[in-house]
Amino acid sequence: MLEEHPALLRADWLPSPEDWPEFADDRAEHVRLLAVRQQAWDEACNLSAQFQAEDEVRAQAVKTALVEGREPDEPETTPPAQREDERREALLKWEQATDLLAEFLERFCAEIKQRGQELYAALEAENGDAEKMRQEARRLLAKADRQAGEGVRKRGWLDRGTGRSFGGYVPFAALGVPEPPEPIDFEAVLAGGAVTEVSHA
């Protein structure tokens, strides 16, 4: 499973708690098991690096002794039997950590499939809530546009009365309410190069 789906080995495979709170505990467990597996792998690699370093020091000591024409004063190294035991234990630890991760993922993926309809229904409910928010936002925007338009109309009439405008006195009813700016096309804005607001002449 892990070999066929490398995405499962990424800590960000599951949604973050902010994106999908329902999966917060599962994500935490997934991240924990990934860390356990990685630690086991690091320990195995460090062990191999330690033995390699010992062998290099020993080889250099033998080489130096040969050049100097004497018996080598070999440094202390980990005995072969002990090395084999430690390697076997490190490998076993990594294999068990991998098995634990795979078992968790198998259970979780099976649960997702089993709960599919329930999760889709929850998403539909969220979409419904979002649409209600959009409708409320449109209502508030329309109300704000009406209020702003009335303000422009009143200011136009007042400017004529106070002399700020040279258009002369006119009946208030003769002054129309200006149309609101055209709505912003957010998709076009995100695509780049779109006009964000258009005022009516």
Q: Is residue 163 very low, low, confident or very high in pLDDT (cuts 50, 70, 90)? A: confident
Q: List, for residues 64-100, the tens digit of each pLDDT value.
A: 999 999 998 878 899 999 999 999 999 999 999 999 9
pTM exceeds cut of 0.85 = no
How many Å apart are CA 124 and CA 157, to the nearest integer? 50
pLDDT band at 26 (very low <50, low <70, confident <90, very high): very high
Give the tokens for residue 87. Answer: 């390697």
Q: Is the pLDDT of residue 198 over 60?
A: no
For the chain, which residues make up each domain, given as ranges? Answer: 6-114, 134-191
Q: Which residues contact 94 (CB under 8 A, 6 or more apart)?
A: 37, 40, 41, 44
Which of 41-45, 109-113, 163-167 has the weakest average pLDDT? Answer: 163-167
